[in-house]
Amino acid sequence: MTANGGQLARITALIEASVIRPVVDRIFPFERTDEALSYVETGRAKGKVVVAVK
């Protein structure tokens, strides 16, 4: 599957309508990006791992 504008718009609409919800496992501050990457590499993440920029 290759992402394109139409697919992204459709997914965005589904998320905004609460039809689908992304699962966030953990949120790391930008300063701990190395720790976030290490966590992803362990294979234990049960959802998305987010690095907060602000």
What per-residue confidence (pLDDT) applies to 1?
62
Q: Residue 3 corresponds to which amino acid?
A: A
Kindly report the pTM of this predicted structure: 0.69
- Per-residue DSSP letters for 16-54? HTTSS-PPEEEEEEGGGHHHHHHHHHHT--SSEEEEE--
What per-residue confidence (pLDDT) applies to 23?
94
What per-residue confidence (pLDDT) applies to 13?
96
Convert the pLDDT of each residue in 12-28 to its tens digit: 999 999 999 989 999 99
- Cα distance between residue 1 and residue 24, in whole Å: 22
Categorise residue 21: left if φ over 0, alpha if ψ from -120 to 50, beta otherwise.
Answer: beta
For the chain, what are the domain ranges?
Answer: 22-54
With beta carbons less than 8 A apart as the criterion, state whether 38 and 15 touch: no
What per-residue confidence (pLDDT) applies to 2?
76
